[in-house]
Structure 1
């Protein structure tokens, strides 16, 4: 009977999720009606959070804008979705009144997390059991923090300490009450809430979780490392990356993979990729699934001879055209989705960057060499040696570009690194004879709120 009830709950939740997604950017304007289904038991709460289609996604709009991919004039004209063509040329108006799943989906995650937190508050903790109660509460706090963070990386300005208190944030909703007002607040308040939720979640979570779509202390450490890197809190980013790698530091030896395979990486839930800490996918869109979107030749040419990533990440379509095939989702890849979760390769690069920034050249090189020894053919690998900490930092940035492609992190890096003249770039695209540019620190590095949300909330 319990199994039947759980199946029924999951079915109803799926229907609710689909209905919410169809509403898209009207999510905050027309809240889900809790009367449709109110999860009330620990099993209900776990089922709600185990809906990976909803809870383990992050915005994918930045993949269109980050400059790693290009489309021909004919390809650009072939796209009929405004947010694709407009994001591609960094237009000021993106959506043209259409829905924005990159906004509505993470706010669905926030709503679900709030449902769980409020529901737990009504239960007898002793009857539930301390361990299960803690894991449910910690998971809900983790999901809410991650949703707010991912929304902020797309729809809020880049983190800057000097302007933080005066910069608008995102709507931070801490209640599932459909009548609760939605207030933007400041970016400082946004990050304070993210940090508060994650700090509260961490001691409640299990050390490691299986399946990989469930939160854990290890996932929280990796999340902290990514978050503090975005905040340019490099001492904290180093500390959390280091603590995470002390628990899980294995890397996948690319020498053991089939470079000719169309999906060369192990299925993410198989347990055969020791790098994966937490499963998260970028929302699929017509750009990421299209064969019209091809890798920028300058990016492809960054990979040296003997670098296995050149064949494991990219599919040769002939005539100098390459498309991406290297998602860590592996055989679990759904059309248009890309892996955006936490993995040890990212953590090695975070720690290496932080080492280099504080002048520890040898430590930065050690992390780089640990990673790269698993990326090159054994006979082609040559250890990295740099002249000084500044050169080591430049090499780390190069390897971040090559290793973490198509994980949604390029946009994060552009937003934070454009403030440093050493790494600032101007993105350029030519479409139908017109040149479009995205200069460093442009306001267009922040995607606008959905049109309906602006009208409804007065932002």
Structure 2
């Protein structure tokens, strides 16, 4: 049995190494793939090589880091292109988030198709539903990350006319590749998550397997990105009612190279991001603008960042406990998602409660009464602005910044971003077109879909 499961994984890995072009334009040879049992399907869902690959392109285009000229020149040309916000050939070479996305979608569809052929016995129903929910969750998670990169920002007035990404619900290579509307993409994502919410268990043997509360958290994130704050609040409440744990940063050692442990109490769903070479600690310097947001009582400054020299910092605060990037779901994000939803609804006192609960675990010598008084003196607009800054301070390099930049750009709340390379300034305008990453040129040529 173990040999067969390993064989299934090896064959699927071989298919995925061929590339996403085949999935989007050429018939995959399903006869080569042999998953047939629930154990086979679970093994595929558990394979870290396949599942734990969060997308990193949004972090590359975001504003939380910069490169020195020397580090910029040390990069391959496609990475230099990405850093300059150029729109051509950014996915040449080994790093390709589009391929990663559709590799994972193929895997999820393979598992879902296999499950459709299994007549689960009564004593297998819980196992069957668990695997089904995992595949639906992962598919929704990847489609959501992808639509954030390549689809227009969600707005109810134009979501039916704006382009999103290509949606695949099966393994049919003959199906014509088209870009669905933003409305269709979000509807698909939400439907998968709501189905997963109904079948996944409340607990799992490891955070790498999603639970009902991971689904609720992701639903909150998706609805937040859509500006549907009441809906987001509904699902975040489910997640926080189950787990509202926060680490107290006062008890942590900031002198360690990595101060956080993997699978810590805040982690609801474990996933790591695969980020390009420019974001490694050896190259990426944290933006001074971000560093300046922290005051001296803020323990995150020393726990998240390592001081190098001359005011330069690198990021060390991954919840992976090492140099890789955490790309999953955690309670600290849920606190901030809830605070923003409450503040935008005008429920300011409850929003303040969530910020206070976060701050008392993040600050030294924290005066709750003074903090509450300062926050209560803010009007709604100022409180929302403060919460958005708090998101940036609490959740750096987590695969969330581009989502925030994009939704705030759609609301007109951010302006043009700039970068300097060898004395030349590059700009990224925050209009609707420039906030869309380009689709790989070979995919456009193969399928004929419209380029961003």
Give the TM-score range, shorter chain.
over 0.9
Structure 1 pair 58/452, CA: closer, same or farther in 2 (3 Å)? same
Give the drift of 1:120: 1.3
Q: Show the counterpart of 1:444.
A: 434
- Count of aligned positions: 445
Q: Show the counterpart of 2:423.
A: 433
Query: Equivalents in 1 of 2:209, 2:91: separation in Å?
Result: 36
> Is 1:105–2:100 an aligned residue pair?
yes
Structure 1 pair 81/50, CA: closer, same or farther in 2 (3 Å)? farther
Greater shift in the superposed pair: 341-350 or 181-190: 181-190
- Residue by residue over 1:256-313, the C-alpha shift from the partner in whole angstroms, topping out at 9 and shown as x without a partner, is 2110111100123xxxx11100012221321122512101112111111111100000
Q: Show the counterpart of 1:383.
A: 371
> Is 1:259–2:254 an aligned residue pair?
yes
- Residue by residue over 1:337-357, the C-alpha shift from the partner in whole angstroms, topping out at 9 and shown as x without a partner, is 311111000000011001111
Q: Which residue among 343, 350, 354 is the counterpart of 2:341?
A: 354
Give the drift of 1:51: 1.1
> Is 1:117–2:112 an aligned residue pair?
yes
Query: Equivalents in 2 of 1:244, 1:119: separation in Å?
Result: 30
Give the drift of 1:175: 0.6
Query: Equivalents in 1 of 2:92, 2:317: separation in Å?
Result: 34
Tell me the secondary structure at the aligned position of residue 119 of structure 1: helix
Paired residues of 2:104 and 2:142 also in contact (CA < 8 A): yes
Query: Equivalents in 2 of 1:18, 1:290: separation in Å?
Result: 31
Structure 1 pair 64/22, CA: closer, same or farther in 2 (3 Å)? farther
- Residue by residue over 1:20-73, the C-alpha shift from the partner in whole angstroms, topping out at 9 and shown as x without a partner, is 246355652345432222200000000011112221222101111101110112
> Is 1:288–2:279 an aligned residue pair?
yes
Structure 1 pair 434/361, CA: closer, same or farther in 2 (3 Å)? same
> After superposition, where does 1:49-60 map in structure 2 within 5 Å?
49-60=45-56
Query: Equivalents in 2 of 1:26, 1:451: separation in Å?
Result: 15
Q: Show the counterpart of 1:325.
A: 316
Q: Show the counterpart of 2:126.
A: 131
Structure 1 pair 178/25, CA: closer, same or farther in 2 (3 Å)? closer
Greater shift in the superposed pair: 53-62 or 88-97: 88-97
> After superposition, where does 1:10-89 map in structure 2 within 5 Å?
10=9, 12-13=10-11, 16-17=12-13, 20-21=16-17, 23=19, 27-30=23-26, 32-82=28-78, 84-89=79-84
Paired residues of 1:27 and 1:104 also in contact (CA < 8 A): no
Q: Which runs of 5+ in 2 are unaligned?
A: none
Paired residues of 2:136 and 2:195 also in contact (CA < 8 A): yes
Query: Equivalents in 1 of 2:93, 2:434: separation in Å?
Result: 19
Give the drift of 1:379: 5.1
Query: Equivalents in 2 of 1:165, 1:78: separation in Å?
Result: 43
Give the drift of 1:458: 0.4
Query: Equivalents in 2 of 1:452, 1:81: separation in Å?
Result: 17
Q: Show the counterpart of 1:154.
A: 149
Query: Equivalents in 2 of 1:283, 1:355: separation in Å?
Result: 33
Paired residues of 1:97 and 1:451 also in contact (CA < 8 A): no
Greater shift in the superposed pair: 66-75 or 91-100: 91-100
- Residue by residue over 1:82-102, the C-alpha shift from the partner in whole angstroms, topping out at 9 and shown as x without a partner, is 1x2122121122427556521
Q: Show the counterpart of 1:238.
A: 233
> Is 1:457–2:447 an aligned residue pair?
yes
- Residue by residue over 1:137-174, the C-alpha shift from the partner in whole angstroms, topping out at 9 and shown as x without a partner, is 11111111111111111111111221111111211001
Paired residues of 1:279 and 1:341 also in contact (CA < 8 A): yes
Give the drift of 1:9: 3.5
Q: Show the counterpart of 1:220.
A: 215
Q: Which residue among 149, 171, 176 is the counterpart of 2:171?
A: 176
Q: Which residue among 284, 290, 293 is the counterpart of 1:299?
A: 290
Greater shift in the superposed pair: 28-37 or 200-209: 28-37
TM-score of the superposed pair, with normalisation by structure 1: 0.92
Q: Show the counterpart of 2:388.
A: 397
Query: Equivalents in 2 of 1:328, 1:30: separation in Å?
Result: 39
> Is 1:90–2:77 an aligned residue pair?
no
Give the drift of 1:204: 0.4
Structure 1 pair 291/100, CA: closer, same or farther in 2 (3 Å)? closer
Paired residues of 2:20 and 2:103 also in contact (CA < 8 A): no
Query: Equivalents in 2 of 1:133, 1:178: separation in Å?
Result: 27
> Is 1:140–2:132 an aligned residue pair?
no
RMSD: 1.9
Tell me the secondary structure at the aligned position of residue 350 of structure 1: helix
Greater shift in the superposed pair: 22-31 or 350-359: 22-31
Query: Equivalents in 2 of 1:140, 1:96: separation in Å?
Result: 27
Q: Which runs of 5+ in 1 are unaligned?
A: none
